[in-house]
């Protein structure tokens, strides 16, 4: 079935200053453990790397529908990677995080031939992807345990759920309801001084992932002494913080400009 996002991505004009340089690269054995790579058309490498994680309530998504985001970020001057991951209900928590970790490890070990500098990486995500990005950076079982967190200079989260226990929605009950240590699933519970700087943006009209998630995580990061940039976009709902990365929708809010400024401050 064709999704609205698939149609949007197909019809949206892409940033001419970037291109897809690799597609369908395996970072694991499963069919959904595949990634695509984007890069600027004209840039002298090695370039910083942005690893972008899409959302979809942990149950939906296809990297090929996010060309508009990959091209937009690459046009800023970054090698950009978008990876698929296994989805609920085919898998349970935390498999989608484990897939994300495996993909980031692949990038750290293999991005150099594509013009990327693995020592200057950023994680970026929207919605469930923002959850995945922050968990990979904050939870001690993921990037900290693998020794890769030192390569991650910053994290960008757009409209992410970071503080949503107790579970009170069909999505969170389905995804996390069977977890034996539910508070361990919350990014806000793993904030520590070693956390990388973060940009956390949200739409003030978001009624799927309420802005209080961004406020709560931002406050907890500040309390731990971690640099954080918090942005609230008036009138934007949940999908608009993602769509605002695209060329036609940039007029609705300066999301891409804000992300660009933050990445430049921490990656360049």
Q: How confident is the model at residue 2 (pLDDT cuts 50, 70, 90)?
A: low
Domain of residue 51: give its range: 4-267
- Mean pLDDT along residues 95-107: 98
Q: What is the pLDDT of residues 131-144, one digit of tens each?
A: 999 999 999 999 99
Quote the CA–CA distance of 105 and 103 in Å, as a whole number.
Answer: 5
Q: What is the pLDDT of residues 43-99, one digit of tens each?
A: 887 999 999 999 999 999 999 999 999 999 999 999 999 999 999 999 999 999 999
Return the half-sphere exposure (C-beta side, CA atoms, 13 A cut-off) of residue 233. 26
Task: Please state the length of the chain.
Answer: 268
pLDDT in the model for residue 45: 79
DSSP string, the chain: ---HHHHHHHHSPPPTTEEEEEEEEESSSSTT-EEEEEEESS--SSEEEEEEE--STTT---GGGGHHHHHHHHHTT-EEEEE----TTTS-TTHHHHHHHHHHHHHHHH-GGGTEEEEEEEEEEETHHHHHHHHHHHSTTSHHHHT-GGGEEEEEEES-----PSP-SHHHHHHHTT-SSGGGG-GGGG--TTPPPEEEEEETT-SSS-THHHHHHHHHHHHTT--EEEEEETT--TTHHHHTTSTTTGGG--HHHHHHHHHHHHH-
What pLDDT, on the 0 to 100 scale, is given for residue 43?
83
CATH number of domain containing 51: 3.40.50.1820
Strands of the sheet with 47-53, listed across from one edge: 18-26, 34-40, 79-83, 47-53, 116-126, 152-158, 198-203, 228-233
Confidence band, pLDDT 50/70/90 cuts, at residue 104: very high
- pLDDT exceeding 70 applies to what percent of the chain? 99
Q: Residue 26 pLDDT more than 70?
A: yes
Mean pLDDT of 123-138: 98
d(CA 142, CA 19): 30
CA distance 197 to 222: 10
Tell me the average pLDDT across 28-56.
96
Number of domains in the chain: 1
The answer to whether residue 154 scores a pLDDT higher than 70 is yes
């Amino acid at each position: 079935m064709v999704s609205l996002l698939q149609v949007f991505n197909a019809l949206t004009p892409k940033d001419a200053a970037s291109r897809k340089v690799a597609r369908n690269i395996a970072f694991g054995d499963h069919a959904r453990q595949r990634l695509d790579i984007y890069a600027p058309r004209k840039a002298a490498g090695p370039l910083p790397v942005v690893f972008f994680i899409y959302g979809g309530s942990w149950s939906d998504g296809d990297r090929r529908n996010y060309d508009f985001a990959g091209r937009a970020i690459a046009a800023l001057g970054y090698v950009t990677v978008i990876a698929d991951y296994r989805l609920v209900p085919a898998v349970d928590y935390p498999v989608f995080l484990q897939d994300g970790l495996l993909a980031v490890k692949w990038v750290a070990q293999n991005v150099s031939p594509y013009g990327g500098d693995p020592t200057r990486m950023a994680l970026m995500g929207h919605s469930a992807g923002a959850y995945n990005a922050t968990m990979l950076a904050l939870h001690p079982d993921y990037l900290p345990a693998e020794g890769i967190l030192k390569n991650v200079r910053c994290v960008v989260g757009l409209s992410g759920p970071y503080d949503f226990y107790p579970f009170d929605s069909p999505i969170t009950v389905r995804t996390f309801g069977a977890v034996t240590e539910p508070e361990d699933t919350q990014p806000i519970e793993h904030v520590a001084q070693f956390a990388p700087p973060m940009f956390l943006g949200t739409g003030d009209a978001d009624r799927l992932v309420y802005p209080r998630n961004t406020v709560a995580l931002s406050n907890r990061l500040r309390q731990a002494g971690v640099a954080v940039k918090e942005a609230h976009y008036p009138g934007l709902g949940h999908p608009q913080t993602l769509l605002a990365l695209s060329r036609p929708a940039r007029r609705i809010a300066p999301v891409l400009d804000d992300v660009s400024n933050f990445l430049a401050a921490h990656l360049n």
